[in-house]
Amino acid sequence: MVEEKREKLKPGDTIGVCAPSGSFDCELFEQGLGVIRDMGFQVHVPRDLGRRKRYLAGNDRHRAGMLEALFLDENIHGIICARGGFGAMRTLPYIDYGLVKKNTKPFVGFSDASALLSVLEERCSCAVFHGPVVTSLARASRRTADSLFDALTGCVEAFPVKSGRVLLPGRAAGIVSGGNLATLCHLTGTAFQPDFNKKILFLEDVGEVPYKIDRMLSHMKMAGVFSGVKGVVAGSFEGCGSRGMIDEIISEVFDDLEVPVLAGLDAGHGEHNLCLPLGGRAELNADDHSLRFF
């Protein structure tokens, strides 16, 4: 099971929706809310969630303030992002992390929300989950939706990677951390640079050609971001070109670190987006194609 610090939700609890990134499609948004309600949860949609500024869901202080308000609200038991896109990293300087740390609750998102997942995990010890957002739930697979429910209710133990590919063999244990490669790469060199020391690193991406994947991984490695990583598990790299080429690039980057690397986890922008508890302790067994939480 995941660590005891994680707050477990139960049917009837209220999940608040934040929009730290882009503005969203209202039809998909309503459909996604329906999926959450069908799980037995109530939903709280803040007033002015649908604000727009260019491609953003309102200005930076507005988006950060709405997120803080959800953490402060005692009637909200968990928080999920409306969508990804771009903009979450712009909210980071405006969040009161001391306030959030005193009012932690489960937080779910992926893609651009990886900026928040990383910082909330490290600075606030929040129970953060790399999983579907409201708009992606509208068209999510049953497996994805079930995974979100299981994660929020504390029923996550193992992720068998049935179609896994062993890029580098071995086993390792540590706290799982990571998310969207492009987003995390753009935090490198900032005050919010992620710390992957002694952690199992999860990475995924979408729509990035192989040389860009190579460039981002190489940049992060040369910046020392991967120093001390215990193991790596790669999710989907949807629309990123040849799977074999992506596997080869990842293998080359981590080969001299002598850590296990397993590719093929159904998490990210692919057909399935399994809800992965970040900040939870797990064992990665590349040889056995598994990631098991304890």
Residues 267, 235 contacting (CB under 8 angstroms): yes
User: Could you tell me which residues are beta bridge partners of residue 17?
Assistant: 80
Question: Each residue of 12-47: pLDDT tens digit?
Answer: 999 999 999 999 999 999 999 999 999 999 999 999
Q: What is the pLDDT of residue 5?
A: 46
269 noted as active-site residue: yes
Question: Each residue of 42-69: pLDDT tens digit?
Answer: 999 999 998 999 999 999 999 999 999 9
Question: Each residue of 180-189: pLDDT tens digit?
Answer: 999 999 999 9
Strand extents, DSSP E, 82-217: 107-109, 128-130, 158-160, 165-168, 171-180, 199-206
111 noted as active-site residue: yes
Residues 18, 66 contacting (CB under 8 angstroms): yes
Residue 158: pLDDT band with limits 50, 70, 90: confident
Q: What is the pLDDT of residue 105?
A: 96
Question: Each residue of 60-101: pLDDT tens digit?
Answer: 999 999 999 999 999 999 999 999 999 999 999 999 999 999
CATH number of 158-293: 3.50.30.60
Q: What is the pLDDT of residue 78?
A: 98
Which among 111, 114, 118, 236 is annotated as catalytic? 111
Residue extents of the structural domains in the chain = 14-152, 158-293
**What is this structure's pTM?**
0.94
CATH number 3.40.50.10190 is the correct assignment for the domain at 14-152: no
Structure token pair of residue 258:
């002598």
Q: Can 14-152 and 158-293 be said to share one CATH topology? A: no
Which among 204, 208, 236, 290 is annotated as catalytic? 204
Which among 68, 269, 283, 290 is annotated as catalytic? 269
